[in-house]
Structure 1
Amino acid sequence: MNALKIEQSSNIGMLLLRSTIGILILFHGIANLNSNYAFIKQLLEGYQIPDFLAYGVFIGEVIAPILIIIGYKTRLNSLIIAFNFLTAIVLAHSSDILSLNQFGGWGIELQALYLFGATTLFFIGAGRYAVSIHSKWD
């Protein structure tokens, strides 16, 4: 395979990863938006954290995924998502880190997929099939 085909395949892979992670997290974010972040507010109150911070999840689960899907500042937005899911794991799923779910999968496999998928996007960037490709954050 020549270098041009390898580069094209890599760019298609980056687009596919961006789209998959972005769309799946966006569905997650819309569900939280529809509930007005009730679960997250309750969780934060349990830690004596002001519940208005729950609206920060809107940035990490709605705005950042949309920007990743279109390929705008992918590295920056992937950091936002990674921070969002690291926080979710610590606050809401810490008891599941060393457990298996009812199907034998890791207790936090979904959250870990989002966290490590976003981290991967931080390292590889948006690729050529993106709205913005000339910034260090792309």
Structure 2
Amino acid sequence: MKDLGLLLLRVSSAVLMITHGLPKFQKLIGGNFEFGDPIGIGAAPSLFLAVLGEFVFPILVIIGFKTRWATVPTIITMLVATFIVHGSDPFNVKEKAILFLITFTSILLLGPGKYSLDKK
């Protein structure tokens, strides 16, 4: 049952993350680079990194390919969202980013389980 639980955790959290990354991905491929610049590298690079962390790497987490490595960009994205973008916001505003941070950190620590490409 542990591996089934890891599959559920991995797939559900990554699918939910993709719902946040898809609009950013569409914005990126549409050529609209208007985006926040929370770490001072420019709007376009910030958007690109957000797309990687919220759209591209969660796809790898879903299929369980290089799962532990694939969680790292999402974890970094959620650290930025929690402590920089929403740093001065009330808890209820940053709560979603914190939950994603905890979930993807758990996946990093636990691994993908046997129902993944990593285990095939």
Higher helix proportion (structure 1 or 2) = 2
- CA displacement at 1:77 relative to structure 2: 1.0
- The answer for the alignment partner of 2:86 in structure 1 is 93
- The answer for the alignment partner of 2:10 in structure 1 is 18
Deviates more, 1:56-65 or 1:9-18: 56-65
The amino acid that maps onto 1:34 is Q
- The answer for the alignment partner of 1:64 in structure 2 is 57
The amino acid that maps onto 2:12 is T
Counterparts in 2 of 1:1-138, with a 5 A limit?
9-36=1-28, 41=35, 43-44=36-37, 48-53=40-45, 54-96=47-89, 99-100=90-91, 106-133=92-119
Gaps of 5+ in 2: none
- The answer for the alignment partner of 1:4 in structure 2 is none
Q: 1:86–1:48: structure 2 CA closer, same or farther, 3 Å change rule?
A: closer
Deviates more, 1:49-58 or 1:72-81: 49-58
- CA displacement at 1:31 relative to structure 2: 1.7
Question: Secondary structure of 2:117's match?
Answer: coil
For residues 49 and 114 of structure 1, the distance between their equivalents in structure 2, rounded to whole angstroms, comes to 24
For residues 81 and 126 of structure 1, the distance between their equivalents in structure 2, rounded to whole angstroms, comes to 15
- CA displacement at 1:30 relative to structure 2: 0.2
- CA displacement at 1:70 relative to structure 2: 0.3
Q: Which has the larger radius of gyration?
A: 1
The amino acid that maps onto 2:72 is L
Identity across the alignment (%)? 28
State the number of aligned residues. 116
Question: Secondary structure of 1:108's match?
Answer: helix
